[in-house]
Structure 1
């Protein structure tokens, strides 16, 4: 399995989970804009720090499993992880916040 195939499977699962959680948390357009901004920041940081670590020869990728497309020194396949984090973590956070708010309201009504 190539890194790209692994990324597609992982991103599919993450996108479905994040979508379900975001719908349940009833997030709006502003929330999605903030998620997009977080994704951009995480992507830039990933490119910079992956490139530094690759240049320092801290790790290597199996060249046979890469597409060969890079940003600076970072393979494009490595950018799926910041996308997954930017989608899933805020969705979980919003969903948990909604649950906590509902629990507080329920306790107030008692």
Structure 2
């Protein structure tokens, strides 16, 4: 199994959970209006941190990637597939919050 395929599985699960959470949310339109800017800011911060620290960990020898399992597209030393895990977390965590919050509270 390649890292790209594994990444797609993580992203697909996160998107499905988010879709279910939004379908079940009674205040969906307000949530989307309110969350898009903080989510984009969080995505930017997490992706920059991923790029910096993954490159440092690869240089230090903490992580290696088999060439047969990556697409070959890289940002410096980090395979692009490595960025899918933080993206999946950025999608999944708000979705889980939506699914587990008490219905009578404000978002």
TM superposition score normalised by structure 2: 0.83
The structure that has the greater radius of gyration is: 1
Alignment of 1:14-93 (within 5 A): 14-25=14-25, 26=28, 27-93=31-97
In 1, Cα distance between equivalents of 2:32 and 2:70:
36
In 1, Cα distance between equivalents of 2:64 and 2:32:
40
Is 1:7 aligned to 2:7, yes or no? yes
Q: What is the RMSD computed on CA atoms of the aligned residues? A: 1.6
Question: Alignment partner of 1:28: what SS?
Answer: helix
Q: How many residues align?
A: 101
TM superposition score normalised by structure 1: 0.81
Unaligned ranges ≥5, structure 2: none
Higher relative contact order, chain-length normalized (CA < 8 Å, sep 6+): 2
Unaligned ranges ≥5, structure 1: 105-110
Q: Which runs of 4+ in 1 moved over 6 A?
A: none
